[in-house]
Amino acid sequence: MSKRLEVEAVRIAYEGRTIVQETTFALDEGVIGCLLGPSGCGKTTLLRAIAGFEPITQGEIRLHGQRVSTPGWTLAPERRRVGMVFQDFALFPHLTVADNVGFGLRQLTSRERRDRVAALLRLVGMEQAKRRYPHELSGGMQQRVALARAMAPRPEILLLDEPFSSMDAALREQLAREVRDVLEREGVTALLVTHDQLEAFAMADRIGVLSQGEIQQWASAFELYHQPANRLVADFIGQGAFLPAEPVDAHSVMTELGRLSSASGHDLNPGTPAEALIRPDDLVDDPASQIRASVIERAFRGAEYLYRLRLPSGSEVLCLLPSHHQYAPGADIGLRLEAKHLVVFASRDRG
């Protein structure tokens, strides 16, 4: 599979201040990637550099094997065949939906342009709204039109800068799945920037977790959750708590909740202070268990409650339990550890 995007040892700095550290990753053709991290971590700056709006200080960026950015030289954005969906969608208010989608297709004949616009509106489920104007559409509908417009010229890669940020959490995740379906059907290579984990999980094949301008790990959502590269990724992705752990051998540790084992080895030796990550889904309630915990608080999640529990040592863990199991704050419950993935770091490792 050919590489559509290659970012190699890229660094971006302004007036001596480094925004993006030395960063390397690649996207294969047809793959959807994501740069995930909190505000100010450098993800949007990196996306803008890929689009051609920001210069780079070190390294190079290649699109389909063609060098497009090096220190001191940047290929103009309009020559990169890059599509971009902005946070505010940037639709032209005086143009209809159909005219917005066809805006970048002036090199085509009238019939070719009409056919391409019609095909894209069908793809995003907006064919019935082709004569309407942006102000007549909901946020989700505007997002679909912006997506169709960006895809219309068949760009080498589609870049999406926090495209769902103005919508509520439930709609963001739903639209992320819908956009993924559209991109897959069209065979588009895409790179998304977001701070929302569920949005990233719903849409991306590969995710890069950024912190302070540096990619900590470039992997699938499953790998980030179950095989985090360092403490920082483990803290950022999902929920969980770290418990003191005593290494038994290269494959297992002993914790207050019991023994955790893994088929893969870890660079830990008996006697080395360590910490094991316990996810909420690693624990189940077991009235017969000798491992006890007291309920500090609970949060209703529909089918489940998320409990915050205190162990006898004073350490706290999180636990997801079916909502028909109701324990009030202060209740004593039994726990059984059912972790299938061992995530453990030396206590001195802070990512």
At which residue do the structure tokens 């790179």 appear? 191
Q: Please tell me the pTM assigned to this model.
A: 0.88
Domain ranges of the chain: 3-234, 239-346
Work out the number of other CB atoms within 10 angstroms of the CB of residue 29: 15
In this structure, what are the phi and psi dihedrals at residue 2, rounded to the nearest 5 degrees? -75, 155
Q: pLDDT tens-digit profile of 22-50?
A: 999 999 999 999 999 998 899 999 999 99
Q: Give the per-residue pLDDT at 119.
A: 92
**DSSP state letters, 223-271:** HHHHS-SSHHHHHHSS--EEEEEEEEETTEEEETTEEEE-SS--S--TT
Say which CATH superfamily domain 3-234 falls into: P-loop containing nucleotide triphosphate hydrolases (3.40.50.300)
**DSSP state letters, 302-342:** SSEEEEEEE-TTS-EEEEEEETTS---TT-EEEEEE--SS-
Mean pLDDT of the chain: 91
Helix, strand or coil, per DSSP, at residue 209: strand
Architecture of domain 239-346: Beta Barrel (2.40)
Whether residue 265 has pLDDT greater than 70: no
Q: Give the per-residue pLDDT at 349.
A: 47
Whether residue 341 has pLDDT greater than 90: no
**DSSP state letters, 99-111:** HHHTTT-TTS-HH
Q: Element (H or E) spanning 98, and its range?
A: helix 97-101
